[in-house]
A and B are shown apart, each in its own frame.
Chain A
Amino acid sequence: GQNIDQPTEMTATEGAIVQINCTYQTSGFNGLFWYQQHAGEAPTFLSYNVLDGLEEKGRFSSFLSRSKGYSYLLLKELQMKDSASYLCAVIGNTPLVFGKGTRLSVIA
């Protein structure tokens, strides 16, 4: 079966660092994606991990541990515009399976 878990909501302060966790159980594994989705808009691609370790891209980093079925998205120097839902998605033996998303609120 397919199961992806991530926290429903998080709140963080502008300028701070926040880590959004994702755990997954899927049939097969061919990669894990993080997408950002602002309210009323379609998701935009943030990162892709297929090997264990940390991938850094500017203020955003994504980590993967395949043996633990675990990933996190790290956002540094938070800005108000980072307030959005962050979707963890895994591609295995089926098309992309999305978690329910973590709604991040950045406060001043």
Chain B
Amino acid sequence: GAVVSQHPSWVICKSGTSVKIECRSLDFQATTMFWYRQFPKQSLMLMATSNEGSKATYEQGVEKDKFLINHASLTLSTLTVTSAHPEDSSFYICSARGTSDSTDTQYFGPGTRLTVL
């Protein structure tokens, strides 16, 4: 149980384009989903927390107009990187926390590797 999927696994795009990444909890309902970014050999950096049906909470330094997050249902959250630039190239990972999980355990998706040319 507690499987989280992400799509796509990797994406290469031109500078200035927008990229949408989907995060789905496959076998549980997730009231809260998290989006992380990880640069090579560095730890995960939390970008934002999204709760189903409400606006995402962004961490300091993360541009909410650039990284659009939508959490439309209890099983789906999307991250859209708008007008992507080479410095946005990174490994983007989502995680989800179940509605009935009293331990607050977060389960991670497999990640999406974004390369902006």
Contacts and interface: CB of A to CB of B under 8 A. Distances in A.
A100 B93 contact: no
Interface in A27-58: 30-31, 33, 35, 40-45, 48, 50
Given A31-B104, A42-B93, A48-B103, A99 B109 contact: no
B49 A43 contact: no
User: Number of contact residues on B: which range applies?
Assistant: 10 to 19
A87 B45 CA distance: 12
Interface stretch (A12-20, A68-76, A90-98): A90-98
A98 B105 CA distance: 13
B42 A43 contact: no
A30 to B, nearest CB: 6
B28 interface: no
A41 B110 CA distance: 6
A26 B2 CA distance: 27
B44 interface: yes
B93 A33 contact: no
Interface string B67-111: 000000000000000000000000101010000000111111111
Given A41-B111, A42-B93, A96 B43 contact: no
Given A48-B103, A95-B34, A95-B46, 7 more contacts: A35-B108, A42-B110, A95-B49, A96-B95, A96-B104, A96-B106, A100-B42
Interface of B: 34, 42-44, 46, 49, 91, 93, 95, 103-111, 113
29 contacts: A30-B104, A31-B103, A31-B104, A33-B105, A40-B91, A40-B113, A41-B110, A42-B93, A42-B108, A42-B109, A42-B111, A43-B44, A43-B108, A44-B108, A45-B107, A48-B103, A48-B105, A91-B104, A95-B49, A96-B34, A96-B46, A96-B95, A96-B104, A97-B46, A98-B44, A99-B43, A100-B42, A100-B43, A101-B43
